[in-house]
Amino acid sequence: MTVATIFALASAPGRGGVAVFRLSGPASADTLHSLTGKRLQPRLATRVRVRHGGEDIDDGLALYFPAPHSFTGEEVVELHLHGGRAVAAALSQSLLELGLRPAEAGEFSRRAFLNDKLDLTRAEAIADLVDAETAAQRRQALQQLDGGLAALVEGWRQDLIRALALTEAIIDFSDEGIGDDLADDVLRQVRALMADMRAKTREGQRRERLRDGIHIAILGAPNAGKSSLMNRIAGREVAIVSAKAGTTRDVIETHLDLHGWPVVLADTAGLREAAEDIEAEGIARALARAESADLKMLVFDASLLPERDAQTRSMIDEASIVVFNKADVANPVDSDAGIMVSARTGLGLDALLARLESEVANRFAVSAEPALTRARHRAAVEECLAALSRFDPAKPVELAAEDLRQAAQAIGRITGRVDVEELLDVVFAEFCIGK
């Protein structure tokens, strides 16, 4: 089967200073030759005139990466042209006429994986790095790209393969009377491995949040000023504000970069005994959001008597911060009890943001330890743990060995060491074209 040579605009589409086209596959170098009349030195940027069908397309730079020393492991050519729509259109048309095919989303990374240039965790890290919107997301993705997660997972898999070898040896040694000692050894090792995996799964849930955004929910009685505060923090009119109690019904989200932390801030319906159905549904959604949030911002109207708001007070816990709003019209409240702010004037907003940031930093600081960062990783570890919890060296050896084999299979799926094909579509589906 011949491999298609593919191409894509690797830089963002539209107008720009430079547009980078990437070609990968066996015909890359010949295609470059037909477009420029040149055969290039490897990895050396060369000025080229790009022409096709008697027409000049552009003047730019070209780079040639011979296989296997390229991103995809195939022959790769990069063309750096002027970032204009007409240039991109003309080059794409020429490449099509020369028999190249437009790349599918993630196809370059997929080829890199198939050519052993990347494991799946590194491929995912590239996607994360391109999608990273905050410093914390960038750091986490880079850590994964450096291979921390791949090494952790591969270590687990090696341990499982060792345990499997020992289990199979139990048969051989059963006559010599050391079979029982071996069985104890294996069981101890498997239990230690399970404890490590469980710890990493817990840590992984924090890391997934870092990829997807840390959820902060704004909660409080109607008219406490939740929506006003949300708008003030977001710096724009995200939610409707009015003097009418019960204005907000749906959960309204906005994404923030809180000094490098990705945050999904959610405004919610005011909490009270609801008057009617729609508001009651809004309150149910608010309570559900309170339940799932990483952090709750409990807003009280400081111009009233906050201690009367029993429902919001009952939500005060480890994962909440208390905010007294309407400081512009209220007497100062004891500062230990919460943060005084005014959504109307912006008073106290800096203190509130600083507090949010420190709470988030305390909970989500990324350690140097590699971690699971996606639901896909967690699902594989959970499947592995399920197989390991069935494992018992007292079972017939073939059955015990099968549990370990399944466990190793499940864990291998994280880097793509087994059962590869079915996984690829899942992993590469979320890539954009040109990666």
Ligand X SMILES: Nc1nc2c(ncn2[C@@H]2O[C@H](COP(=O)(O)OP(=O)(O)OP(=O)(O)O)[C@@H](O)[C@H]2O)c(=O)[nH]1
CB 290 within 8 A of CB 219: yes
Residue 319 vs residues 40, 124, 208, 295: alpha-carbon distances, Å? 60, 31, 18, 5
Nearer to K ion, 226 or 413 (CB): 226
Nearest to 141, CA basis, from 434, 373, 431, 368: 373
Maximum Cα–Cα distance across the chain: 86
Return the one option of K ion, ligand X, Mg ion, none that residue 343 interacts with (CB less than 5 to 8 A, by type): ligand X
Query: Binder to K ion among 247, 268, 342, 415 (CB under 5 A)?
Result: 247
Q: Is 406 in the site for K ion (CB under 5 A)?
A: no
Nearer to Mg ion, 118 or 343 (CB): 343
Residue 343 is labelled as binding a ligand: yes
Nearest distance in Å: CB 241, ligand X: 4
Nearest to 216, CA basis, from 299, 142, 157: 299
Distance CA 264, CA 140 (A): 18
Nearest distance in Å: CB 314, K ion: 21
Distance CA 221, CA 245 (A): 9
Nearest distance in Å: CB 231, Mg ion: 10
Residue 47 is labelled as binding a ligand: no
Write the binding mask 235 to 274 for Mg ion: x where contact by CB under 5 A, - elsewhere: ------------xx--------------------------
Distance CA 306, CA 299 (A): 9
Residue 225 vs residues 3, 68, 298, 344: alpha-carbon distances, Å? 61, 60, 11, 9
Nearest distance in Å: CB 350, Mg ion: 23
Within 346-405, which residues bind Mg ion (CB under 5 A)? none
User: Residue 360 burial (CB < 10 Å; 0-12/13-18/19+)?
Assistant: buried
Q: How far apart are the first and last CA of the chain?
A: 23
Write the binding mask 63 to 102 for Mg ion: x where contact by CB under 5 A, - elsewhere: ----------------------------------------
Residue 308 is labelled as binding a ligand: no
Return the one option of K ion, Mg ion, ligand X, none that residue 35 interacts with (CB less than 5 to 8 A, by type): none
Nearest distance in Å: CB 23, K ion: 57
Q: Which pair of tokens denotes residue 260?
A: 């490098």
Q: Is 231 in the site for K ion (CB under 5 A)?
A: no
Return the one option of ligand X, Mg ion, K ion, none that residue 207 interacts with (CB less than 5 to 8 A, by type): none
Cβ-based neighbours of 117, under 8 Å, separated by 6 or more: 68, 71, 72, 73
User: Facing residues of 252 across strands?
Assistant: 267
Q: Which pair of tokens denotes residue 232?
A: 């003030």
Nearer to K ion, 229 or 339 (CB): 229
User: In the 8-state DSSP scheme, what is residue 342?
Assistant: -
Q: Is 325 in the site for K ion (CB under 5 A)?
A: no
Within 170-229, which residues bind Mg ion (CB under 5 A)? 226-227
Size of the site for Mg ion (CB under 5 A): 4
Return the one option of K ion, ligand X, Mg ion, none that residue 326 interacts with (CB less than 5 to 8 A, by type): ligand X
Distance CA 103, CA 130 (A): 18
Phi, psi of 31, rounded to the nearest 5 degrees: -60, -45
Q: Which stretch binds K ion (CB under 5 A): 22-30, 148-156, 204-212, 217-225?
A: 217-225
Using N-to-C axis directions, what is the helix angle for 375-390 and 397-415, rounded to 10°? 170
Binding residues for ligand X (CB under 6 A):
220, 222-228, 241-243, 245-248, 269-270, 325-326, 328-329, 342-344
**Residue numbers of the site for Mg ion (CB under 5 A)?**
226-227, 247-248
**Residue numbers of the site for K ion (CB under 5 A)?**
223, 247
Give the residue numbers of the binding site for (6S)-5-formyl-5,6,7,8-tetrahydrofolate: 22, 78, 117, 435
Give the residue numbers of the binding site for GTP: 223-228, 242-248, 267-270, 325-328, 342-344
